[in-house]
């Protein structure tokens, strides 16, 4: 019987590459510590990112305590507050989200999903993790050095970042810049691996247009990262030289504490350009893997093929390309040439087109699907809602005239937390609930998961929705305390208290999640093989969790795209990628 | 499945065929070894680094109010009492470009498996590279003696020293790393590691002659970057 799957074939071209010669670990240390297995490296990345992310979470509580209850906690002073804000932002964006999506999910999923035994250069891949680890240590070390971590704001704008009065001017800023440089070197080593593995090491039959969107998302994001991080790298080196050697790349003639500094003639705006040439692609480095993963989660848990697969792929590529020509929308109030504003507003608004297309396609994938309200599905729905919300405020901010009054207010904070904080984190949670059985062989606890979802989703709304309003009132971001301010009414203080309390509750829910991760490892329900009845290759391995080399003796052969769910005329509601046209799904009987 | 093995249904004609070739299974770039693909992508990323450096240099050069030093003077050499502008740098550039020639020949002989020739040419390339770095060190020393520092100099805008040391330093580091790897690869070729499939000490992978080519890509790139640095620093 011929099935009418999307591009199902009963033919796959012969193998072009000989079997890789895989490194086999000989001792515990080379197996679990200095491991060259992408799956272990992925988990190492994920655990390190989670650990440092926890630090950032605690910092967010401290920030909120100060904002909700000013003059109450004497262990938070102004300097400390700026350090919390800075480290919170930088850790969340770079050391948690980037590392977790690309280093964590990228390493674990890419080889499995494209049908490879490992990354193409496992040794370099191992170095990548350890350099990342070193970068985290260097970052953390700034807490223990004189002056503490930097308080320059996560954007690290000079001249203030390296001047007296900014906390951490002594060592914090140096450690931050060094750590970023290390991170970039480490990331590049991993990123080259991801890209080459996807381009050059797929299994038989796995054309680019048969790759799961997860792989596409990570692929495009990695390319963005390889092209965007250089700008940050250069900016970091130049600021380091300004701070340590007294060069004046970014430093104009300037007076500090009544004293003329030796600096002069540099361009502070140059740093902003370098930073945002990295910074805007960076938000898509985080967003694109989330887009990819959520497409797969939605399709699998709604038992329906992704709507408009090709469009989804091209939208990822288009967003990736466009994201390089919008960076100065972060600089409307920087004093750059106003004509730039017009150009960058236009490109910024154009990005909304491919982005909206993706949102429509997710919704159309759900449309008339056989939706199962599993935890991954709940989080995916949460993602769509929060992402649309944040995307729309992005359109506000993309227009120069609207942005100018809203810039540097809590409205911006609300925008980027919705779109880059909450939405991708929703996907990360969904992905963990989805792939945890693959990684450990057990399911996460459903009850704890539901609790976690509802508190996080509703809580996030209660936290960030009011911030839009506070922003409209003109409440500035990055202020230690507001004092007596005529344009901010009394009620704003009450609202801030409410936000703080909610934030603490949501923080607590994350502890439940972490406990769930720990508890289910031993006590969770043992997962059947391919528990979600998914099509992509990572679920078709002979063992679960997949062993060293991923696929046993023979690499899988791919005959179709990964979205053959509920194909008419076929009894099972899914057909894995390695089933030839006319064959039946293994494990479907 | 077996009876259709001769006809590949994915085969298309025209532009569609081109797209489908590129997106086709297993490898996007047929017959490109992994190492070479990786080197190309790395170099693309590195291009962005050097571009950012050079663009930053142009920006600070045009934003500073103090006049830029006269480069043909600063970079001149005094030979027997005659001021020759750009003498040293011309020799350095010539040497580096020659080294690209020897590198290209090394790659050719590598693929022909002429081990001795390949080794000799790799060593010659490394020698050229080391000479370049040595001459750069000489130039740095000369400028430092004349009072040029990253934070200031007697000839004009302080950004001159800052950008000069930063960018040539970054490029010189690239050349130095290249020389080290040239020596390592030369040793492997000499020992015949790429013929016998001896495993690498760190990676425990078997190497082959495409590594010589990847090395060559890096070397040509470093060379090409120099041409830009030369043009923007010394000729502008
Ligand atoms: C249609 C889509 C979007 C538009 C038009 C847009 C527009 C903007 C604009 C104009 C700003 C600057 C606001 C200001 O500083 O005054 C901004 C800030 C920001 N956006 Fe978006 N954005 C969009 C999507 C995204 C996405 C998808 C992410 C992340 C996943 C994101 C993350 C951020 C972040 C982190 C900031 C604040 C950076 C900072 O100042 O610290 N945005 N956005
Ligand atoms: Cu942006």
A370-409: pLDDT as tens digits: 999 999 999 999 999 999 999 999 999 999 999 999 999 9
pLDDT at B5: 38
Pick among A215, A238, A275 to test the B interface (most B CBs inside 10 A): A238
**Phi and psi at residue A332, in whole multiples of 5°?**
-55, -35
A294 close to B (CB below 8 A): no
**Phi and psi at residue A536, in whole multiples of 5°?**
-70, 165
Q: How confident is the model at residue A128 (pLDDT cuts 50, 70, 90)?
A: very high
Three-state secondary structure call for residue A532 = coil
Section A262-287 average pLDDT: 94
Three-state secondary structure call for residue A526 = strand
b/e per residue B167-177 (b: at least 16 CB within 10 A): bbebbbebbee
User: Which residue range forms the structural domain that includes residue B77?
Assistant: 40-235
Please judge whether B28 and A200 are an interchain contact, meaning their C-beta atoms are less than 8 angstroms apart.
Answer: yes
A90, A329, A344, A475: residue to mutate for ligand 1 pocket, most atoms within 8 A of CB: A329
Please judge whether A267 and B60 are an interchain contact, meaning their C-beta atoms are less than 8 angstroms apart.
Answer: yes
A15 close to B (CB below 8 A): yes
Cα–Cα distance measured from residue B93 to residue B223, given in angstroms and rounded to the nearest whole number = 9
Determine contact, residues B49/A230, Cβ cutoff 8 Å. Answer: yes
Q: Is residue B9 part of a domain?
A: no
- Pick the atom of ligand 1 nearest to A399's CA: 10
Q: Considering only CB atoms, which chain A residues are within 8 Å of B40?
A: none
Q: Is residue B59 part of a domain?
A: yes
**Closest CA relative to residue B56, chosen from B155, B151, B152, B166:** B166
A420, A423, A426, A467: residue to mutate for ligand 1 pocket, most atoms within 8 A of CB: A420
Pick among A124, A201, A222, A234 to test the B interface (most B CBs inside 10 A): A234
Strand partners, A442: A526
pLDDT at A481: 86
pLDDT at A585: 46
pLDDT at B136: 95
Cα of A417 vs centre of ligand 2, distance in Å, is: 13
pLDDT at A24: 83
DSSP line for A430-446: HHHHHHHHHHHSBPPPH
B153-184: pLDDT as tens digits: 999 999 999 999 999 999 999 999 999 999 99
**Closest CA relative to residue A212, chosen from A122, A317, A282, A289:** A289
A518-529: pLDDT as tens digits: 999 999 999 999
Please give the sequence-ordered ranges of beta strands (E in DSSP) within A86-188, or none if there are none: none
Mean pLDDT (chain B) is: 89
Please judge whether B203 and A121 are an interchain contact, meaning their C-beta atoms are less than 8 angstroms apart.
Answer: yes
pLDDT at B185: 95
CATH number at residue B159: 1.20.120.80
Q: Considering only CB atoms, which chain A residues are within 8 Å of B161?
A: 247
Give the ligand with the smallest distance to the CA of A327. 2
Q: Is residue B20 part of a domain?
A: no
pLDDT at A85: 96
Q: Higher-confidence residue: B212 or B205?
A: B212
Cα–Cα distance measured from residue A120 to residue A106, given in angstroms and rounded to the nearest whole number = 13
pLDDT at B12: 66
Does the structure show a pLDDT above 90 at A482? no
Cα–Cα distance measured from residue A188 to residue A224, given in angstroms and rounded to the nearest whole number = 11
Q: How many domains is chain B built from?
A: 1
Please judge whether A208 and B28 are an interchain contact, meaning their C-beta atoms are less than 8 angstroms apart.
Answer: yes
Please judge whether B27 and A21 are an interchain contact, meaning their C-beta atoms are less than 8 angstroms apart.
Answer: no
Pick among B12, B18, B19, B25 to test the A interface (most A CBs inside 10 A): B25
Residue position matching structure tokens 């002429």: B114
Cα–Cα distance measured from residue A334 to residue A341, given in angstroms and rounded to the nearest whole number = 11
pLDDT at B4: 38
Q: Which residues line ligand 1 (CB under 6 A)?
A: A 155, 283, 286-287, 329-330, 348, 351-352, 355, 391, 394-395, 397-398, 403, 407, 412, 415-416, 419-420
Share of chain A above pLDDT 90, in %: 83
pLDDT at A396: 93
Does the structure show a pLDDT above 70 at B126? yes
Give the ligand with the smallest distance to the CA of A420. 1
Please judge whether A227 and B59 are an interchain contact, meaning their C-beta atoms are less than 8 angstroms apart.
Answer: no
Q: Higher-confidence residue: B2 or A137?
A: A137
Cα of A414 vs centre of ligand 1, distance in Å, is: 10
Q: Whose CA is nearest to atom 32 of ligand 1?
A: A416
Q: How confident is the model at residue A137 (pLDDT cuts 50, 70, 90)?
A: very high
Burial group, residue B142, by CB count within 10 angstroms (0-12, 13-18, 19+): middle
Ligand 2 (ion): which residues have CB within 5 A? Answer: A 280
Q: How confident is the model at residue A17 (pLDDT cuts 50, 70, 90)?
A: confident
Structure tokens at A292: 């990819």
B67-79: pLDDT as tens digits: 999 888 888 888 8
Distance (Å) from the alpha carbon of A336 to chain B's nearest alpha carbon = 13
pLDDT at A587: 39
Cα of A273 vs centre of ligand 2, distance in Å, is: 12
Distance (Å) from the alpha carbon of A248 to chain B's nearest alpha carbon = 6
Share of chain B above pLDDT 90, in %: 67
Pick among A124, A126, A186, A207 to test the B interface (most B CBs inside 10 A): A207
pLDDT at B10: 55
**Phi and psi at residue A442, in whole multiples of 5°?**
-130, 155
Q: Is residue B12 part of a domain?
A: no
Please judge whether A249 and B162 are an interchain contact, meaning their C-beta atoms are less than 8 angstroms apart.
Answer: yes
Three-state secondary structure call for residue B84 = strand
Q: Whose CA is nearest to atom 36 of ligand 1?
A: A416
pLDDT at B2: 37
Distance (Å) from the alpha carbon of A200 to chain B's nearest alpha carbon = 4
DSSP line for A447-496: HHHHHHHHHHHHHHHHHHHHHHHHHHHTPBSS-S---S-TTS-HHHHHHH
Q: Is residue B28 part of a domain?
A: no
Give the ligand with the smallest distance to the CA of A281. 2
DSSP state of B225: H
Q: Is residue B158 part of a domain?
A: yes
Does the structure show a pLDDT above 70 at B19? no
Give the ligand with the smallest distance to the CA of A424. 1
Structure tokens at A480: 């230690």
Q: Considering only CB atoms, which chain A residues are within 8 Å of B44?
A: 226-227
pLDDT at A243: 95
Three-state secondary structure call for residue A116 = coil
Please judge whether B166 and A247 are an interchain contact, meaning their C-beta atoms are less than 8 angstroms apart.
Answer: yes
Please judge whether B49 and A265 are an interchain contact, meaning their C-beta atoms are less than 8 angstroms apart.
Answer: no
Task: Name the H helices within A156-212.
Answer: 172-200
Give the ligand with the smallest distance to the CA of A398. 1
Q: Higher-confidence residue: A262 or A46?
A: A46
Q: How far is CA A262 from CA A259, A270, A279, B161, in A?
A: 9, 19, 30, 15
Distance (Å) from the alpha carbon of B48 to chain A's nearest alpha carbon = 6
Burial group, residue A84, by CB count within 10 angstroms (0-12, 13-18, 19+): buried
Does the structure show a pLDDT above 90 at B97? yes
pLDDT at B20: 67
**Closest CA relative to residue A193, chosen from A84, A67, A310, A45:** A45
Q: Considering only CB atoms, which chain A residues are within 8 Å of B151?
A: 245-248, 262
A61-117: pLDDT as tens digits: 999 999 999 988 889 999 999 999 999 999 999 999 999 999 999 999 999 999 999
Q: How confident is the model at residue A5 (pLDDT cuts 50, 70, 90)?
A: low
b/e per residue A538-561 (b: at least 16 CB within 10 A): bbbbeebebebbbbeeebbbbbbb
Q: Is residue B75 part of a domain?
A: yes
- Pick the atom of ligand 1 nearest to A332's CA: 16
Q: Higher-confidence residue: A440 or B71?
A: A440
Q: Considering only CB atoms, which chain A residues are within 8 Å of B34?
A: 120-121, 196, 200-201
Structure tokens at A558: 């791919």
Q: Which helix (H) or strand (E) holds A58?
A: helix A38-68
Q: Which residues make Cβ contacts (< 8 Å) with residue A141, sequence separation at least 6?
A: A175
Q: Higher-confidence residue: A141 or A571?
A: A141
Does the structure show a pLDDT above 80 at A6? no
A313-336: pLDDT as tens digits: 999 999 999 999 999 999 999 988
Q: Which residues make Cβ contacts (< 8 Å) with residue B3, sequence separation at least 6?
A: none
Mean pLDDT (chain A) is: 93
Nearest CB among A11, A245, A249 relative to B1 is that of: A11
Q: Is residue B94 part of a domain?
A: yes
pLDDT at B21: 66
Distance (Å) from the alpha carbon of A138 to chain B's nearest alpha carbon = 22
Cα of A493 vs centre of ligand 1, distance in Å, is: 26
């Amino acid at each position: 019987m011929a099935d009418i799957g999307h591009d199902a074939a009963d033919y796959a071209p012969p193998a072009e590459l000989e079997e890789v010669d895989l490194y086999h670990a000989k001792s515990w240390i080379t197996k679990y510590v200095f491991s060259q297995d992408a799956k272990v490296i992925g988990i190492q990345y994920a655990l390190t990112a989670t650990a440092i992310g926890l630090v950032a979470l605690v910092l967010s509580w401290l920030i909120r305590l100060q904002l909700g209850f000013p003059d109450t906690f004497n262990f938070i002073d102004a300097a400390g507050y700026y350090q919390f804000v800075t480290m919170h932002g930088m850790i969340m964006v770079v050391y948690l989200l980037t590392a977790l999506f690309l280093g964590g999910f990228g390493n674990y999923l890419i080889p499995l999903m494209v049908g490879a035994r490992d990354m193409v250069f496992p040794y370099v891949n191992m170095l990548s993790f350890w350099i990342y680890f070193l970068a985290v240590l260097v970052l953390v070390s700034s807490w223990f050095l004189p002056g503490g971590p930097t308080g320059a704001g996560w954007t690290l704008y000079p001249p203030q970042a390296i001047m007296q009065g900014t906390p951490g001017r002594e060592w914090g800023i140096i450690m931050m810049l060094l750590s970023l440089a290390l991170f970039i070197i480490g990331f590049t080593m991993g990123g080259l691996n991801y890209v080459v593995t996807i381009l050059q090491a797929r299994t038989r039959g796995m054309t680019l247009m048969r790759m799961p969107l997860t792989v596409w998302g990570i692929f495009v994001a990695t390319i963005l990262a390889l092209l965007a991080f250089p700008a940050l790298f250069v900016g970091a080196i130049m600021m380091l030289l300004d701070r340590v050697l007294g060069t004046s790349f970014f430093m104009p003639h300037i007076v500090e504490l009544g004293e003329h500094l030796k600096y002069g003639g540099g361009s502070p705006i140059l740093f902003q350009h370098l930073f945002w040439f990295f910074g805007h692609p960076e938000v898509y480095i985080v967003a694109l893997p989330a887009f990819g993963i959520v497409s797969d989660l939605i399709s699998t848990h709604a038992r329906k093929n992704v709507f408009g697969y090709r469009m989804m792929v091209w939208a990822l590529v288009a967003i990736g390309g466009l994201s390089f020509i919008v960076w100065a929308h972060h600089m409307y109030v920087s004093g750059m040439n106003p004509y730039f504003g017009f150009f960058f507003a236009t490109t910024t608004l154009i990005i909304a087109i491919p982005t909206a297309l993706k949102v429509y396609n997710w919704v159309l994938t759900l449309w008339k699907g056989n939706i199962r309200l599993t935890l991954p599905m709940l989080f995916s729905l949460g993602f769509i809602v929060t992402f649309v919300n944040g995307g729309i405020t992005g359109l506000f901010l993309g227009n120069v005239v609207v942005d100018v009054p809203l810039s540097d207010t809590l409205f911006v904070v609300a925008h980027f937390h919705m779109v880059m904080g909450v939405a991708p984190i929703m996907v990360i949670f969904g992905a963990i609930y989805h792939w945890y059985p693959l990684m450990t062989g057990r399911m996460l606890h459903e009850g704890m998961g539901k609790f976690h979802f509802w508190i996080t989703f509703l809580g996030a709304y209660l936290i960030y929705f009011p911030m839009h309003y506070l922003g409209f009132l003109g409440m500035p971001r990055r202020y230690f305390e507001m004092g007596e301010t005529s344009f901010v009414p009394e009620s704003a203080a009450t609202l801030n208290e409410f936000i703080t309390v909610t934030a603490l509750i949501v923080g607590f829910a994350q502890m439940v999640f972490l406990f769930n991760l720990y508890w289910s490892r031993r006590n969770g329900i043992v997962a059947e093989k391919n528990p979600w009845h998914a099509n992509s290759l990572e679920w078709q391995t002979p063992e679960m969790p997949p062993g060293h080399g991923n696929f046993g003796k023979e690499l899988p052969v791919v005959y179709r795209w990964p979205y053959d769910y509920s194909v008419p005329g076929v009894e099972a509601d899914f057909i894995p990628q390695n089933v030839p046209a006319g064959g039946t799904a293994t494990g479907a009987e | 499945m077996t009876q259709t093995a001769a006809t590949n249904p994915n085969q298309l004609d025209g532009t569609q065929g081109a797209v489908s070739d590129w997106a086709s299974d297993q490898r996007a770039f047929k017959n490109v070894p992994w190492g070479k693909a990786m080197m190309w992508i790395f170099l693309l990323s590195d291009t962005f680094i050097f571009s950012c450096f050079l663009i930053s240099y142009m920006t600070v050069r045009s934003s500073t109010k103090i006049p830029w030093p006269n480069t043909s003077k600063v970079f001149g050499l005094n030979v027997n009492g005659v001021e020759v502008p750009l003498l040293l740098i011309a020799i350095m550039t010539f040497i580096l470009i020659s080294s690209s020639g020897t590198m290209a020949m090394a790659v050719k002989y590598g693929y022909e498996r002429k081990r001795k020739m390949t080794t000799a040419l790799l060593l010659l390339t490394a020698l050229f590279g080391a000479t370049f770095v040595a001459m750069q060190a000489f130039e740095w020393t000369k400028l430092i003696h004349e009072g040029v520092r990253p934070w200031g100099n007697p000839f004009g805008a302080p950004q001159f020293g800052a950008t000069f040391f930063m960018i040539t330093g970054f490029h010189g580091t690239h050349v130095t790393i290249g020389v080290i790897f040239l020596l390592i690869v030369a040793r492997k070729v000499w020992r015949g590691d790429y013929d016998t499939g001896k495993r690498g000490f760190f990676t425990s992978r078997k190497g082959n002659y495409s590594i010589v080519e990847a090395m060559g890509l890096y070397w040509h790139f470093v060379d090409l970057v120099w041409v830009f640095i030369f043009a923007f620093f010394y000729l502008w």
